[in-house]
Amino acid sequence: MKLTQYTDLGLRLMMYLALRPSEPVTIQEVSERLAISKNHLVKISHQLTKSGLIASTRGRNGGIRLASAAEDITIEQVIKVTEESFGLVECFNDGQNRCTLVGACKLADVLDAALDAFFDVLRKTTLAELVENGAALEKMLLPVSGVNRVGSVAG
């Protein structure tokens, strides 16, 4: 299983916001500090705002921030908002399943149990835990004039 780049960037955005709990930040700031395409971040932050994980304020002193304390947001919540599907194999999708082994094969049961274990770990892990080493993370952030953005189209 592989999470999408969209989810990866969403997790990075949420971690950045967890490092800035008392202040709204702009998409531009996050884009520059994490070297992520601003356009990608706009889409991701919009979806996270619609889900209630991020709060957005418009205007001169506006920006985005976590809607709840980082201790109250699980990694499972973020991933379930940003990933479209967790159908690991064809037989997870009843509408498009053409597998001739359905009913006798145990693969779906094993993968379903593995997916449950995956989410169990994510459900027990909070955003706050991901940023416990905040000082080290801060040192890794790019200066505001960062370049080479992830997700940008090379010219």
**DSSP 8-class letter at 59:** S
Domain ranges, ordered by start, for the chain:
5-140
Contact 49, 55 (CB under 8 A): yes
pLDDT at site 91:
65
Burial class (CB in 10 A: 0-12, 13-18, 19+), 17: buried
When comparing pLDDT for 61 and 41, which is higher? 41
CATH code reported for the domain at 5-140: 1.10.10.10
pLDDT at site 147:
47
pLDDT tens-digit map of 58-109: 888 889 999 999 999 999 999 999 998 877 666 666 677 777 767 777 887 8
For residue 154, pLDDT beyond 80: no
When comparing pLDDT for 147 and 110, which is higher? 110
Rounded to whole angstroms, the Cα distance separating 8 from 36 reads 11
